[in-house]
Amino acid sequence: MADRPLRVLLDGTPLLGSRTGIGRYTAALSEELASLSEVDLRAVAFTLRGWRKLRHVLPHGVQARGMPVSARLLRATWLHTQLPPVELFAGPTDVVHGTNFVLPGRLRAAGVLTIHDLAFIDAPQELAHSDRTLPELVRRGARRANVICTPTEAVADAVAEKLDVDRSKIIATPLGVNPAWFTARPPDDGVRAKLRLPEKYLLFAGAAGPRKGLDWLAAAHAAAPDLPPLVFAGPGPFPRLPRSGQTGYLSDVDLRTVVAGAAALVLPSRDEGFGLPVLEAMASDVPVVCTDIPALREVAGDCATLVPYDDVDGLAEALRQAVTDPHGLATSTARRTHAASFTWHNTALRTLDAYRQATEA
């Protein structure tokens, strides 16, 4: 194997459809891995419909493999056995990388599994009915995997404890910030009109969900009528509140513009694996207010205001301070320097370390 690139088969299913956090992670990781001479990258999609679209969303030179197959049926089977092995319809490979919580069944290949967070363990009642088997599927995948990747050391520690796996087989592979964020500019009048953006606004960027703390954010915003309007950017449904607006899902270009124009970004999550909007806002020189939880504490460093979860008055005051004194906590240089220390190239190199460790296990 030393005289040839490592053959890696990536689960590219998150690349299909509108991309939220895991889709963006998979896209950026595949781009960087494809540029490494040490890796021969291929990708497979587990879906009955639309699997042929995978070839159109992969980086140049990355081959799409697979066949139409029901993801639900595969998950039900992989819950109990390694059959069918992914090599059966994707060909021989050295490493299989499950990018989205699920490790495919495999025959001879080493297995690497990315676990982004443990919300499915901490709040299983919030899972969709179609994901009711996810906790057990991830537990089995974690045991079968040669190496587990997590976005933060905080998640790595939680995975070792809650899924009862050896901490030495978990590697943190922090996410990166696309360089385009550092040159993002606020919206012009045309974009403001198109997206119905107020002149000044607070921003939540991301997908809606029970763990995102939106009820807490709504209460804090209602308690402070002096705050600017609140804008939700991402796939909903979001709460409909007085003095709020929704943009819906945004293209990467529009998202950067909306973030760059915000008076402050707020991420009030009860649980996060990484919190990429925090760094993207910092790269755009936008003040950040987020929850004081381990992963966000790790990612934000000393460049964001951290608030204990569910502290309504504390969140309202932190937002007020961010708006009135945007450089009170961190200078533009400090924010951008911190964000620049997270690169997708480093994510790929750390992931390559995981692949190598997996093949040597």
- pLDDT digit string (tens) for the chain, length 361 residues: 557 899 999 999 999 877 778 999 999 999 999 999 999 999 998 887 777 888 888 998 898 987 778 788 888 888 888 888 888 888 899 999 999 999 999 989 999 999 999 988 877 777 677 778 888 899 999 999 999 999 999 999 999 999 999 999 999 999 999 999 999 999 999 999 999 999 999 999 999 989 999 999 999 999 999 999 999 999 989 999 999 999 999 999 999 999 999 999 999 999 999 999 999 999 999 999 999 999 999 999 999 999 999 999 999 999 999 999 988 888 999 999 999 999 999 999 999 999 999 999 7
- Report field, pTM of the whole predicted structure over 0.95: no
Residues 327 and 351 both lie in one domain: no
Residues 156 and 237 both lie in one domain: no
Residues 79 and 223 both lie in one domain: no
Cα distances from 134 to residues 127, 142, 246, in angstroms, run 9, 12, 30
Cα distances from 151 to residues 29, 114, 148, 208, 240, in angstroms, run 12, 8, 10, 20, 32
Residue 255, both tokens: 């998202």
Number of neighbours of residue 70 by Cβ within 10 angstroms: 13
Query: Of 220, 26, 17, 213, which Cα lies nearest the Cα of 119?
Result: 213
Residues 139 and 219 both lie in one domain: no
Helix or strand or coil: residue 137?
helix
Please tell me the distance from the alpha carbon of residue 244 to that of residue 231, in angstroms, as a whole number: 6
Q: Is residue 162 part of a domain?
A: yes
Tally of domains in the chain:
2
Please tell me the distance from the alpha carbon of residue 192 to that of residue 257, in angstroms, as a whole number: 10
Residues 44 and 172 both lie in one domain: yes
Residues 15 and 159 both lie in one domain: yes
Which residue range(s) make up the domain with 136?
6-176+343-360
Q: Is residue 100 part of a domain?
A: yes
Residue 127: what pLDDT? 66
State how beta strands 230-233 and 244-248 pair.
parallel
Residue 195: what pLDDT? 94
Residues 19 and 121 both lie in one domain: yes
Rg over alpha carbons for the chain, rounded to the nearest Å, is 21
Q: Is residue 1 part of a domain?
A: no
Which residues does 331 contact at the CB level (< 8 Å), separation at least 6? none
Q: Is residue 105 part of a domain?
A: yes
Which residues does 11 contact at the CB level (< 8 Å), separation at least 6? 26, 43, 44, 45, 46, 96, 97, 98, 99, 100, 102, 104
Residues 87 and 224 both lie in one domain: no
Residues 312 and 348 both lie in one domain: no
Residues 244 and 292 both lie in one domain: yes
Query: Of 71, 84, 95, which Cα lies nearest the Cα of 16?
Result: 71
What strands lie across the sheet with 288-291, from one edge to the other? 244-248, 230-233, 202-205, 264-267, 288-291, 305-307
Is cis: bond before 237, omega within 30 of 0?
A: yes
Q: Is residue 14 part of a domain?
A: yes
Residues 41 and 82 both lie in one domain: yes
Residues 170 and 30 both lie in one domain: yes
Q: Is residue 22 part of a domain?
A: yes
CATH code, domain with 294: 3.40.50.2000
